[in-house]
């Protein structure tokens, strides 16, 4: 369906808004599992940027931090405090994992906002791997730390006894929906935001096609792109934060299953 609307000028949509999410091989040929694609390139860039920020930023260790050192230290402190607050003192051992997830998603989201770049986190294939890893880790940690006492996470002892079986059923369902909602929240937010920008971008050249209506639509759509881009910068941070904090919430369930 994405190919149908190519080069059709009839309604101003000169490109399809979902075209930006296509995985393209950078070396030619078909996309195989080993092919270097735009996804591979953006992921490699993400890792390089994170390494640059964290290693070179924190290398100086000055008493009065420089700007780059401040970025590294503030991010570290922010996530450390979040893990400590949400998961508790004994959850701090999982801080490196949460920090890795947060930094990867944050930098991938921000790099995706550069015009003509590719947003790796907009693909459910990418976010589902991260969410499934969190889900499996939480389940395994829960059973290792608590044994079968981990099943107490489904049995809410503060509720009235009659309600508990019904609540247990709801809890079991919501437990297994976690990886789905965890991954789709991030991918959906990224995909929707970028698609909206592209929809308005398709309206912008309307002045070239029909001058009458274009004089009104073009400035409005360029204004809308600017506004939505500003919103997307905010969303890029909030979604990385939400992904990390939900990981902490799930880890707290695994460490302290009895609420």
Q: Which residues bind another protein (CB under 8 A)?
A: 1-2, 18, 82, 85-86, 181, 184-185, 188-189, 191-192, 238, 241-242, 245-246, 249
Question: In angstroms, what CA-CA distances link 210 with 9, 15, 54, 113, 202?
Answer: 11, 17, 50, 30, 14
Residue placing its CB nearer to another protein in the complex, 6 or 59: 6
Residue placing its CB nearer to another protein in the complex, 108 or 186: 186
Least distance in Å: CB of 191 to another protein? Answer: 8
Q: Which helix or strand (DSSP H or E) is residue 104 part of?
A: helix 95-112
Cβ partners under 8 Å of residue 35, min gap 6: 25, 26, 27, 29
Q: Is residue 37 classed as helix, strand or coil in its secondary structure? A: strand
Residue placing its CB nearer to another protein in the complex, 2 or 44: 2
DSSP bridge pairs for 25: 37
**Nearest-angstrom CA–CA distance, 191 and 207:** 27
Question: In angstroms, what CA-CA distances link 5 with 21, 39, 221?
Answer: 15, 24, 20
Least distance in Å: CB of 24 to another protein? Answer: 18
Least distance in Å: CB of 84 to another protein? Answer: 11
Least distance in Å: CB of 245 to another protein? Answer: 6
Residue 250, token pair as written in the block: 């799930």
Q: Is residue 16 classed as helix, strand or coil in its secondary structure? A: coil
Block residue for tokens 């299953």: 257
Residue placing its CB nearer to another protein in the complex, 41 or 184: 184
Least distance in Å: CB of 78 to another protein? Answer: 11
Residue placing its CB nearer to another protein in the complex, 82 or 107: 82
Least distance in Å: CB of 185 to another protein? Answer: 5
User: Which among 92, 96, 120, 124 is positioned nearest to 106, based on CA atoms?
Assistant: 120
Least distance in Å: CB of 227 to another protein? Answer: 17
CB 243 within 8 A of CB 103: no
**Nearest-angstrom CA–CA distance, 209 and 144:** 65
CB 246 within 8 A of CB 252: no
Residue placing its CB nearer to another protein in the complex, 126 or 206: 126
Residue placing its CB nearer to another protein in the complex, 85 or 90: 85
């Amino acid at each position: 369906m994405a190919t149908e609307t190519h080069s059709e000028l009839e309604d101003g949509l000169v490109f399809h808004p979902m075209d930006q999410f296509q995985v393209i091989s950078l070396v030619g040929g078909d996309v195989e599992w080993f092919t270097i694609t735009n996804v591979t390139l953006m992921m490699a860039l993400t890792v390089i940027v994170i390494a640059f920020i964290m290693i070179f930023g924190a290398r100086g260790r000055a008493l009065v931090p420089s700007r780059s050192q401040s970025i590294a230290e503030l991010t570290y402190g922010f996530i450390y405090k979040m893990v400590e607050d949400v998961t508790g003192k004994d959850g701090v051992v999982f801080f490196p994992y949460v920090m890795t997830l947060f930094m990867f998603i944050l930098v991938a989201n921000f790099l995706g906002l550069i015009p003509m770049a590719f947003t790796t986190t907009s693909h459910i294939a990418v976010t589902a791997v991260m969410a499934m890893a969190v889900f499996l880790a939480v389940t395994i940690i829960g059973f290792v730390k608590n044994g079968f006492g981990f099943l107490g996470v489904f049995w809410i002892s503060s509720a009235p006894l009659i309600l508990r079986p019904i609540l247990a059923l709801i809890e079991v369902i919501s437990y297994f929906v976690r990886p789905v909602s965890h991954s789709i929240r991030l991918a959906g937010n990224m995909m929707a935001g970028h698609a909206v920008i592209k929809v308005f971008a398709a309206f912008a050249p309307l002045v070239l096609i029909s001058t009458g209506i274009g004089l009104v639509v073009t400035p409005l759509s360029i204004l809308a792109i600017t506004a939505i881009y500003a919103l997307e910068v905010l969303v890029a941070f909030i979604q990385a934060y939400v992904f990390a904090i939900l990981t902490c919430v799930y880890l707290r369930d695994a460490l302290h299953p009895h609420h």
